[in-house]
Amino acid sequence: MRERRRPRADEAEEFEDETEKRPRSGLIKEIIIIAAVFLLCLFVIPNFIMQRTIVNGDSMNESLHDGDQLMVDKLTPHFKAYERFDVVVFYPFGKDASDEYYIKRVIGLPGETVQIEGDTIYIDGEVLEEHYGKDPMTYAGIAAEPIKLGEDEFFLLGDHREISFDSRYEQVGVVKRSQIAGKAVIRIWPLSKFGSFND
């Protein structure tokens, strides 16, 4: 029976070095992956894909309430246009000017003409059938006269029309696409109301 050759001292040291290197390189790779995932969650997802937003105030009652937490889709609107009745998050004074944001509902779309007479909203001269308004409107604001929206402009209203500070007011006015951060897609808090809010 042939006896196995014992490794020389220098061979044994080389073998030990190899076994030490392998786990160390695996650990470094693991740290790099964890760091990449962390940076993705910290910067890429909130800035470009999905962001958590908290409702502040009652201007979207009864659809949304003060303190509700929403997830806002920031990516899809780059590929699909906003639609009427979408709930969007936007910066009324521009994101560079202020970090103050509002949450409102899309009523008028680019290229349309919007007018409010009494409690009725007209889009291109036709009555808009909708059930989101909580109260009758008593203030038409700048929409008392027809407003022709540009190719990148939207007319937004809160659902609680009597208290909502929205496109009817000169300080907000029509909202450009560049001012909109994204579309609110799901309510995540409170848990008892988790899910869609746009029924």
Mind telling me the catalytic residues?
59, 104
The CA distance from 83 to 15, in Å, is 65
Strands (DSSP E) found in 7-85: 50-54, 69-73
Kindly list the distances between the CA atom of residue 51 and the CA atoms of 43, 182, 183, 188, in Å, as whole numbers in the listed order. 10, 9, 10, 12
Residues 6+ apart with CB under 8 A from 82: 88, 106, 109, 154, 177, 180, 183
Q: Are 133 and 159 in contact (CB under 8 A)?
A: yes
Q: How far apart are CA 177 and CA 180, in angstroms?
A: 5
